[in-house]
Amino acid sequence: MGASSAAEEETIYTDLFLGPRSWNGRERNRLLLNTGRWPLIDVSAATGADDRRDGRGMAVSDFDHDGDVDFAVANYEAPASLWINRWGQARGWVAVRLEGRKVNRDAIGATLVAHVGEARMLRVVGAGHGYAGQNSLEQLFGLGDAARIDALEVRWPDGSRERFGPLAAGTRVRLVQGEGAAPEGGVEESQAGVPLVPPPEDFELPRWLWLAMIIPPLFLIGMATLTRKLGSGGAEPQAGPSEQPPA
């Protein structure tokens, strides 16, 4: 099973993609949309993300460097799939790569807290995600309509903390340990993370959901020869091997 969270539509909310959840391989993949309210909305069928292939490991990254999150899925006894996000490149984003000097160079284990107005977003640099997968070391923050990250607080793996910013929307930056400023007034331990609110005990994800909304397109590029356009109404095969989707 693979599972990853990402801001698919460049909002400040994090969506969730789930691969198959057992060993028989018959469960469909699921894409859950975060609107900022509980519960998450299952948009798997509406977007065509409920692929029939037996997905296992997966990883997320901005593969085409257009400011939104794409994801790759390793399928059992089938070619791997690359899902290209065409949800909403018009909105703001900032991509951050950390470089450790007194800690490991990739800053694995570091946490980042971005302040955008009154909102906060948390990212953690990890070495492995889900089953047999590793996401990009670059951390992507969706800003919605905001023009910048007002401040970015980094806690390095050795426990030291720095503050960077402001960071303008639409930029990719590398932040080096030791080149930031000390946090204003210090950062309390309770501020290092974002509180998680558990779902109600009787909550279950809906199996079917009718949506009165237009789902923007996603694209699935089979790493062998298959290209499919995904959007409202499911999948539509397209001719030609390995062709790129239109901008």
Reading the block at residue 164, the tokens are 């960077």
- Position 53 scores a pLDDT of 78
- Position 213 scores a pLDDT of 42
- Position 77 scores a pLDDT of 80
List Cβ neighbours of 195 (8 Å cut-off, separation of 6 or more): none
How do residues 77-114 score in pLDDT, each as one tens digit?
Answer: 888 888 887 765 667 889 999 999 999 999 999 999 99
Q: 102, 160 in Cβ contact below 8 A? A: yes
- Position 220 scores a pLDDT of 53
- Position 173 scores a pLDDT of 93
Residue 241 pLDDT grade (very low, low, confident, very high; cuts 50, 70, 90): very low
| β-bridge partners, 154 | 112, 162
Is the pLDDT at 209 greater than 80? The verdict is: no
Dihedral in degrees, nearest 10, Cα atoms 171, 174, 176, 179: -30
Is the pLDDT at 236 greater than 50? The verdict is: no
Cis-peptide, bond into residue 166, ω within 30° of zero: yes
Is the pLDDT at 143 greater than 80? The verdict is: yes
Is the pLDDT at 2 greater than 50? The verdict is: no
Is the pLDDT at 61 greater than 70? The verdict is: yes
How do residues 12-59 score in pLDDT, each as one tens digit?
Answer: 444 445 554 555 556 777 777 777 777 778 877 777 777 777 777 788
Q: Name which residue leads in pLDDT, 54 or 193.
A: 54
Is the pLDDT at 230 greater than 70? The verdict is: no
- Position 242 scores a pLDDT of 42
Furthest-apart CA atoms within the chain: distance in Å: 59
The residue type of 180 is G
